[in-house]
Amino acid sequence: MSREVFVLHPQLAADSHSLGETATAHVLLHRNAVVPWLMLVPKTEHCDFLELPVALRAVLIDDCARLARYLRMRRGAEKINFAAIGNLVPQLHLHVVGRSLGDACWPLPVWGHLNVTAAYSEAEVAIIREEVHAVLAIG
């Protein structure tokens, strides 16, 4: 992890609600509520997941697995899409997206195919924040 102040990429900040942070990453909720979509943004200067030290990769994968279980158990996801693409936003970020048969762009990936939008209410964001804090032992 970098010792410098961590700054979230402006595009990630614009596209998401902050849910908090773990020791290793910021946790975000994508603003589009059409599909349940969480992101981890590791506190690192590395741009590619496979460049990370083994121990940090392991922690992040474990956190992503916890988020995936949460999306299945609490948000009704039938399938999890997991990716670290980073072509448009160079800051390393890991997508954990809950998918379900018949969702807005099923069976296509959400990237470039999610053509409808819905917003979370403040109350919904607060509930998800509380649930994610419990899942990742934040706070």
The tens place of each residue's pLDDT in the chain, 139 residues long, gives: 445 678 999 999 999 999 999 999 999 999 999 999 999 999 999 999 999 999 999 999 999 999 999 999 999 999 999 999 988 999 999 999 999 999 999 999 999 999 999 999 999 999 999 999 999 999 7
In sequence order, the 6+-apart residues with CB closer than 8 A to the CB of 54 are none
**CATH number for 50:** 3.30.428.10
pLDDT of 4: 64
- Residue 3 inside a domain? The answer is no
- Residue 2 inside a domain? The answer is no
pTM surpassing 0.75?
yes
pLDDT of 75: 97
> Which stretches of 1-139 are DSSP H helices?
10-15, 54-75, 122-136
pLDDT of 3: 53
Structural domain of 101: 10-136
- Residue 98 inside a domain? The answer is yes
- Any idea what DSSP says for residue 4? S
What's the structural domain count of the chain?
A: 1
- Residue 4 inside a domain? The answer is no
Contact 11, 110 (CB under 8 A): no
pLDDT of 20: 97
